[in-house]
Structure 1
Amino acid sequence: MLLGTHHVVIICSDYQRSKAFYTQVLGLKIIAEHYREQRDSYKLDLALPDGSQIELFSFPNAPKRPSYPEAQGLRHLAFKVNDIDEVVNWLRSNDVECEAIRTDEYTNKRFTFFNDPDDLPLELYQIK
């Protein structure tokens, strides 16, 4: 049976900009980085503290994916945090806009949303 999430894949429009966002702003560690000449594509493996990974890909002329909050399919990627106020302040100090922090009516946990450089919706979810 399933044991957890191993990785999530993100295809970006500007590899260097997204690499800087995920490593410098979000603080993810690089596991491996590969340039695939035959595809003119980068693959960047990034580690999250719980052992899961984000694979960041670039492809020339990749089509944009329409994203609407309630469209079918994957809606957003959520990151666990201990102190949401600290992370939101860090993001804002790096010119990343965040929505107002809300409280989940079912769990009483605090959360907010922000976007990566390609407007992929990302969530912070306070676990404590």
Structure 2
Amino acid sequence: MDVRSFMDLDCWKVAREFRNRISMLAKSFPVEEKYGLTSQIKRSSRSVTANIAEGYGRFHHQENIQFCRMSRGSLTETLDHLTVALDEKYISEDQFFDFKTELERCLKVLNGYINYLRKLKSSTK
């Protein structure tokens, strides 16, 4: 496949699907969480795709890798927010494990992209 934009990256596509699912989930949280958990989980999931996009736009492999690492951190932060939702009984254990599985898929694809960038970086030295 020809990559002409960050939107062509598999890691961005998978993270976008995840982000959209998180956004829909957040709409089901109680109103009193609007400025708390709802805002935090939406921001962390949005940060995943935003950092992939920003890293892609840097045109230097090391900077791109660094932004992808920040995306990984945002995925981990989103997982923590999901555990809060579980603990507060806003989601069921089944929902939690479905989201966790999807998050792990995002992480796997993102790690694959990071490894690809590392190989490119070492081949251009």
Query: Same fold, TM exceeding 0.5?
Result: no
Higher strand share goes to which structure?
Answer: 1
Q: Give the number of the structure with larger relative contact order, counting CA–CA contacts within 8 Å between residues 6 or more apart.
A: 2
**Which structure dedicates a bigger proportion of its chain to helix?**
2
- Shorter-chain TM range is 0.3 to 0.5
TM-score, normalising length: structure 2 = 0.32
